[in-house]
Amino acid sequence: MQKRPIALVTGTSSGFGKHASVALVKAGFQVIAAMRDLAKRDPLDKLASLHIDPEHLEVISLDVTHPEQIQDAISSIIARHGRIDLLLNNAGYALGGFAEEVSSEEWRKQFDVNVFGLIDVTRAVLPYMRQQQSGRIINVSSISGRFGFPGLSPYAASKHAVEGFSESLRLEMLPFQVQVVLVEPGSFRTAIWEKGMQDQQLDEASPYVSQMKQLMRHVEGIIEKAPAPDAVISTIVHAATTPKPRFRYPVG
């Protein structure tokens, strides 16, 4: 029996990562679903139990901001499976706030997860894909990676960095038959927006208070009315399985 291709997915406790992990198993992959906190694996396990054979889904602990964890995780996957065919870089979060008021610590944390975490996981996987002369890397970016929005400057800046990194990486990997793809979702109903805004305190003395209130209303609208992530998940599966993927897939 032909072995399933091996896919590593980051950020799988909720949202796109959770749904994509199950969808990729259904599409024929053996999926290693990585999440920072295994105590939050229940939603993934429950979704998987309804739709797939759990034999084809492995859940591991991985904090993408810890390079030593990344190296250990990749080494373990290679030891068990011998290869990695697909990397879906999905781990990330959206920090809400205005550039002047977001602290340096918060700015750095946003980039540590969304940019440097993605880069470190990618760099750990690249030697194996390069040696295989095959592989595919899908980076989940955002419409915010193409356009900036008020009150989301840290998130938009991080996603612009992901776009630039992916553009260069695609060209660097062409000689090694490793494909690089960007998926750029618009506003969809996932926990990323709610989590991104929950720590923001509304300061009535802020010069940005009216804009922040408008942003919060917009986020509430996303939470209530935005479509489910089905279109993004089907796009990810297409990008993972089509013989000749496009570089960019805007969705929504």
Classify residue 114 by burial, with Cβ atoms within 10 Å: 0-12, 13-18, 19+: buried
Please identify which of the residues 93, 128, 155, 249 carries the catalytic annotation. Answer: 155
Contact 195, 95 (CB under 8 A): no
Angle between helices 15-26 and 230-241 (to 10 degrees): 50
CA distance 192 to 203: 22
- What number of other Cβ atoms are within 10 A of residue 145's Cβ? 26
Cα angle for residues 119, 35, 120 (degrees, 5° grid)? 15
Active site residue 93: no
- Residue 50: partners with Cβ closer than 8 Å, 6 or more residues away: none
CA distance 127 to 144: 30
- Residue 232: partners with Cβ closer than 8 Å, 6 or more residues away: 16, 183, 185, 188, 251, 252
Interstrand relation of 248-251 and 178-185 (parallel, antiparallel or unpaired): parallel
Query: Which residues are catalytically annotated?
Result: 155
